[in-house]
Chain A
Amino acid sequence: MNARVRTREHPGYWAFVVHRISGILLVLFLPFHFWALGQALTGAARLDEFLHWTAHPLAKVAEWGLVVLLAAHFTGGVRLLVLEFLPWREWQRALLATATVVTAGVGLLFLVDVL
């Protein structure tokens, strides 16, 4: 059927998409993160070699991306925990706006601070 679907055009659905995609990307990244840190087992030199590689601008952008993903997933998660565990109140619907602002804030902080 080719009739349009517009039911998804509202904040609650976008919040879900951001939360799920950020979760998937984070879980894809994590094994790599653990592996890299595990390199320190072979001594500081190997870790240094790796850290050197992370000084590359592209790595910096990736790092920033990861921090934003983490902040987004975290704030979205807090919104979910509030909606699921606290009694239903109208202000909870505005949580998404709060989550977005906090995520943007963290992203900005990281950007300014580290780059």
Chain B
Amino acid sequence: MSDTPMIQVRVWRGTEEGELRAYEVPRRPSQTVLDVVTYIQRELDETLSYRFACRVGMCGSCAMNVNGVARWTCRTHVDKVLGGAKGPLELAPLRNMPVVKDLVCDMRGFFDKWAKARGYFEPTATRRDDFARVSPESKQRRLAEAGIECIGCGVCYASCDVVTWRPDYLGPAALNRAWTLVNDPRDGAQRARLQAVAGDGGCHACHTHVSCTERCPKGIAPTASIAGLKRATAMAALKGDV
């Protein structure tokens, strides 16, 4: 045991009030941050609360704050964060969301804003209609495809300073989803959606920090989607549609 290299880990314990508690975890090859958290909970302190599900970078449940930036812990190798150092590896819950306990945050507000931005599909066809024909090469479909892979992990939202400064700002994920639907010719709520995403709480509050795009684990650029919404809502406002 004395030969095993160890990592110094500091983990947020508590709710909004609490402390960073220190743990020592054996370092292993190809170790991910999720491995570290799992070790702490299983071997050192069973009272630690954290989220995970798939463990393989598909669900986004394990998102948390690792040494100051939001990451998926299952896809973050300890080596990447620490290099050769022994630590500290500092783990905290995602920013901009209330803390439930330890590394778990309350994502209800995040998803409520998704709904508020009309980030849901409004069908117009019936079972009697033929299939919609949408060319994958069309400009609209390409724009939608660029943002469609979002799995709602909250990393972008947690990384956005405008979300921190404006409680009513819908945020990059909700706006990105709205943009993919703005580019869906089958959707029937275009006017209502543009109304929902415009203004001080909507796309116009984005100041192009590009933190969301920097951090998105799926390589989506919410900044680009939001820029698209800015143009679309401006045109709509001029035409009287907003």
Note whether A and B contact each other (Cβ less than 8 A): yes
Q: Chain A: residues with CB nearer than 8 A to chain B?
A: 1-8, 10, 12-13, 15-16, 20, 80, 83-85, 88, 93
Q: List 21 A-B contacts (CB under 8 A).
A: A1-B16, A2-B20, A3-B92, A4-B68, A5-B68, A5-B95, A6-B67, A6-B68, A7-B69, A7-B70, A7-B161, A8-B161, A8-B211, A12-B209, A13-B210, A13-B211, A16-B207, A84-B227, A88-B221, A88-B224, A88-B227
- B90, A3: Cβ atoms closer than 8 Å: yes
Task: Give, as a whole number of angstroms, the nearest-CB distance from B227 to chain A.
Answer: 5
The reply on B176 being an interface residue by CB < 8 A is no
Task: Give, as a whole number of angstroms, the nearest-CB distance from A78 to chain B.
Answer: 13
Q: 11 other contacts beyond A12-B210, A16-B208, A84-B230, with CB at 8 A cut-off?
A: A3-B12, A6-B68, A7-B68, A7-B69, A7-B159, A8-B161, A10-B210, A12-B208, A12-B213, A13-B211, A80-B208
Measured as residues with beta carbon below 8 angstroms from the partner, the interface class of chain B is: 20 to 34
- A4, B215: Cβ atoms closer than 8 Å: no
A15 to B207, CA, bound (A): 10
Known interface pairs A3-B20, A83-B223, A84-B230; A12-B211 also in contact (CB < 8 Å): yes
Task: Give, as a whole number of angstroms, the nearest-CB distance from B74 to chain A.
Answer: 20
Select which of B18, B92, B209, B230 is within 8 A of A13 by beta carbon. B209
Chain A residue nearest in CB terms to B99:
A1
Question: A12 contacts which chain B residues (CB < 8 A)?
Answer: 208-211, 213-214
The reply on B42 being an interface residue by CB < 8 A is no
Within 8 A of A (CB), among B9-45: 12, 16, 18, 20
Indicate with 1 or 0, residue by residue over B196-229, a CB within 8 angstroms of chain A CB atoms: 0000000000011111011100000101100100
Chain A residue nearest in CB terms to B214:
A10
Question: A4 contacts which chain B residues (CB < 8 A)?
Answer: 67-68, 90
The reply on B231 being an interface residue by CB < 8 A is yes
Question: B227 contacts which chain A residues (CB < 8 A)?
Answer: 83-85, 88
A36 to B156, CA, bound (A): 47
Indicate with 1 or 0, residue by residue over B156-174, a CB within 8 angstroms of chain A CB atoms: 0001010000000000000
Question: B210 contacts which chain A residues (CB < 8 A)?
Answer: 10, 12-13, 93
- A13, B223: Cβ atoms closer than 8 Å: no
Task: Give, as a whole number of angstroms, the nearest-CB distance from A96 to chain B.
Answer: 9
Chain A residue nearest in CB terms to B224:
A88
Known interface pairs A3-B92, A6-B69, A10-B214; A85-B221 also in contact (CB < 8 Å): no
Task: Give, as a whole number of angstroms, the nearest-CB distance from A51 to chain B.
Answer: 38
The reply on B180 being an interface residue by CB < 8 A is no
Question: B16 contacts which chain A residues (CB < 8 A)?
Answer: 1
Task: Give, as a whole number of angstroms, the nearest-CB distance from B70 to chain A.
Answer: 7
